[in-house]
Amino acid sequence: MALSDEKYLSLTTFKKDGTPKPTPIWIADLGDGTMGFTTNQDSWKVKRLKNNPNVMLQPCDMKGEIEEGTTAVEATATYVTGGPEFEKVRGLIDKKYGFAVKVIKVLNSVRSMLGKGGQSDTAIIITLK
């Protein structure tokens, strides 16, 4: 199974000092040899990618627990805020995850009203090494 076919992946980004920071993500195949997901431009994932585009991917569950018998894969990631690339990734995530996306959007709206984040406006594009 291709990584982009997984329901959840653990994305590991790296702090300035090299400390790995894994987090579970949804992922979509972009059809051109890359895959992507959406996040908020103020997320720690984006902040860490600004310093280091190298990432690791590995199948996991919704809590980020790594699936037994899987191996981490090296990749690089770039990000784009808004525009056609973002819209493409958002559309593919919406299609793959359906109702769950609607629930997350509502929760993000509530968090935004509380001053704790906002809606996804940035696409992370991942290329395997």
Q: Which amino acid is at 60?
A: C
> What pLDDT, on a 0 to 100 scale, did the predictor assign at position 120?
81
Average pLDDT for 100-110? 67
The percent of residues in the chain predicted with pLDDT above 90, rounded, is 77
12 and 56 Cβ atoms separated by less than 8 Å: yes
Q: Which amino acid is at 23?
A: T
> What pLDDT, on a 0 to 100 scale, did the predictor assign at position 8?
95
Rounded Cα gap, residues 83 and 20, in angstroms: 30
The pTM (predicted TM-score) of the whole model is 0.87
Domain made up of 3-128: CATH architecture: Roll (2.30)
